Amino acid sequence: MKSYIEACRIIKDEIQLLETGTEEVTLLNSLNRVISEDIFSDINLPSFDNSAMDGIVINFKEGISKWKIDSEISAGKFAQTYIGEDNAALIMTGAKIPEGGNTVIPVEDISVENDTAILKSGAKYKFGQNIRKAGQDLKKNELIAGKFITLKPRHISLLASCGIPKVRVLKKYNFGIITTGDELVDIGSKCSGDKIYASNLYTLIALIEELNMDHTNFGICNDNKNDLRDVIHTSLHSNIDFLITSGGVSVGKFDFVMEVLKELGAEIIFWKVNIKPGKPLLFAKINIKGKKKLIFGLPGNPVSSFVNFHLFIKNILTESYFHSSRRTITAELVNDLKKNDLKRHFIRGIVDQNGNSGKYFVKEIENQSSSNMMGLSVSNALITIEEDRINLKTGDEVECIMI
């Protein structure tokens, strides 16, 4: 049995060895994608001197308070003109500054009569005011988005301002999903007697979508070894990078996942991690036609498979694919927590922030059974209790993984 830390390290090492291809996507398809190379601007921003206000553009000379307006320049409609000391042009925000112009007086500070602008009494102006200089925001050849940034709307805004139509990004991983169990029925079908809905299928798909990755749903497989072998074989020979199975990795009579994986030539890297919930996690790899595929056999208990996905897939991809840090918060317990074994526990809880102090507090949800979906749905965190800590007291500090 691996420790939590060892299991994370092994999985991270294997994921880092995966070949992650790149592809070019349009800017509109780049949201939440990870760019695979530095992006530089090939223009200045702004690319020309322009007015920051609606007003008049003048050629600054101390003491002047009256100008003849002899032209008009709006954004996108430049008018060739020369601004001397006594004339001015009406100018709108974003319009290009004409030759000789170097200062913009806002419209609020002048009155205009018969094409003459007069500075209002008490209004002042300074040389160079209200002009956005070419290149003041960024210079040509400047780095505008560094390799491995996950593109958010704010990045897309800058890239569009620089006129960049396409970006090269890391390819999404494709996750194959198989859920196993004779008791499982898909949602939308009749579920009676000893059957249950195959909720893990949807949990896993949602978790994968949340990571902005692709998935292929291989559906529900019953606990028949031949059927399981067929669907695992099909999935591994399809265009997937990861296979996630749910159920059938414990020690029950019909838990065939490990056996079938071995028969198909997979290498079992480890089975079982010293954690609660989610102990029976199985991690394996296989090489299919020169391409490595990683396999996560998750236990069927809905909470266990959810926790396993968070710890060993989401958290690790956050670091190795998204080059980002996992979201954890240190919070103070508002209840005692029972723990008297040497496993690492991940307890569902609700983290709240105190409005006045800004401090975080966390409360354990009552029923920690690994089949309790209601409890999971109201939780927003997994409270981590490390192996060597036992029975925690109210007021103790704990690390919470936000979910």
Residues 273-302 close enough to bind Mg ion by CB under 5 A: 300
Should residue 199 be labelled a site residue for ligand AMP when binding is judged by CB under 6 A? yes
The beta strands (E) that lie in 223-290 are given as 242-246, 267-271, 275-276, 282-288
DSSP β-ladder status, 282-288 and 267-271: antiparallel
Cβ atoms 119, 125 nearer than 8 A: yes
In the bound state with ligand AMP, the residue whose beta carbon lies nearer, of 204 and 365, is 204
224 vs 230: CA distance, rounded Å: 10
Should residue 302 be labelled a site residue for ligand AMP when binding is judged by CB under 6 A? yes
Residues 174-193 close enough to bind ligand AMP by CB under 6 A: 179, 181, 183-184
Residues near Mg ion (CB under 5 A), total: 4
DSSP β-ladder status, 275-276 and 344-353: parallel
Name which of Mg ion, ligand AMP, none residue 199 binds, using a CB cut-off of 5 to 8 Å depending on partner kind. ligand AMP
Name which of ligand AMP, Mg ion, none residue 375 binds, using a CB cut-off of 5 to 8 Å depending on partner kind. none
Name which of ligand AMP, Mg ion, none residue 196 binds, using a CB cut-off of 5 to 8 Å depending on partner kind. ligand AMP
Should residue 246 be labelled a site residue for ligand AMP when binding is judged by CB under 6 A? yes
Cβ atoms 4, 311 nearer than 8 A: yes
Determine the 3-state secondary structure of 255 from DSSP: coil
Name which of ligand AMP, Mg ion, none residue 308 binds, using a CB cut-off of 5 to 8 Å depending on partner kind. none
| Least CB distance to ligand AMP at residue 220 (A) | 7
> Contacting Mg ion (CB under 5 A), which of 46, 101, 247, 280?
247
Name which of Mg ion, ligand AMP, none residue 50 binds, using a CB cut-off of 5 to 8 Å depending on partner kind. none
| Least CB distance to ligand AMP at residue 199 (A) | 4
Taking residue 370's Cβ as centre, other Cβ atoms within 10 Å add up to 21
In the bound state with ligand AMP, the residue whose beta carbon lies nearer, of 55 and 300, is 300
Report the greatest alpha carbon distance in the chain: 97
Q: Which residues pair with 398 in a beta bridge?
A: 331
Nearest 5°: phi and psi at 386?
-65, 160
Amino acid making up residue 87:
N
Q: Which residues pair with 59 in a beta bridge?
A: none
Binding site for ligand AMP (CB under 6 A): 179, 181, 183-184, 196, 198-201, 246-248, 250, 252, 299-302
Binding site for Mg ion (CB under 5 A): 181, 247-248, 300
